[in-house]
Amino acid sequence: KVLEDDKIIDQMELEIDRLSIEILALQQPAAHDLRFVISVAKITPILERIADHAGSIAEAAIILNTEPQLQSYVDFSRMADTAASMLKTALDAFTSEDSAMSREIIKRDKEIDECYRRVFNELLELMIANPNASTGAAHLLFVAKHLERIGDYVKDICELNVYLREAAFIKHGG
């Protein structure tokens, strides 16, 4: 299903780009309205990239189903749950223009980064100790990296929401 929806998401991105340009050209929005159009135009490709990462995770899951089962990694599940929760909350914060919620979500990106480091090290150790598990572990490493990137993209969405609501640039510590 995730893989099938990718083309739809790509088309939606193009349509939002077209509408954003049309609004900027014909309506000439100012202040909050201008920040809204800019934020939507910047968030759209971020969401498309998140969808691409979700597609890559789905492809890896198909491959992993053909590999011998590896041990369960608590941090791996935590990463996936945190990324999904952050994305949902970030979209809710954007639609309600809740910049305080966005600022809280930004802090949670560190949780995903820490989980990624632990999962990376555990899977590397597994690959060294058990070369037969290397293929599955390598695919899990890619999945973990996709989840970590999704966390980064969610942070970007939240930074744009702060810009929308407060007219403040907080990206890169600004």
Query: CATH number, domain at 82?
Result: 1.20.58.220
Q: What is the predicted pLDDT for the residue at 46?
A: 98
Q: What is the predicted pLDDT for the residue at 157?
A: 98
Q: How far is CA 138 from CA 67, 77, 80, 105, in A?
A: 11, 17, 17, 29
- Report the candidate in 107, 88, 95 with the shortest Cα–Cα distance to residue 165: 95
- Report the candidate in 147, 138, 127, 2 with the shortest Cα–Cα distance to residue 80: 147
Which is more confidently placed, 37 or 68? 37
Q: How confident is the model at residue 172 (pLDDT cuts 50, 70, 90)?
A: confident
Total domains, the chain: 1
Tokens 């290397």 -> residue:
134
Domain that holds residue 55: 2-173
Q: Name, in order, each residue with C-beta under 8 angstroms of 108's C-beta and a sequence gap of 6 or more.
A: 82, 86, 151
Q: How confident is the model at residue 174 (pLDDT cuts 50, 70, 90)?
A: low
Query: Structure tokens of 120?
Result: 């990376």
Q: What is the predicted pLDDT for the residue at 7?
A: 86
**What pLDDT digit, counting tens, does each position of 118-157 carry?**
999 999 999 999 999 999 999 999 999 999 999 999 999 9
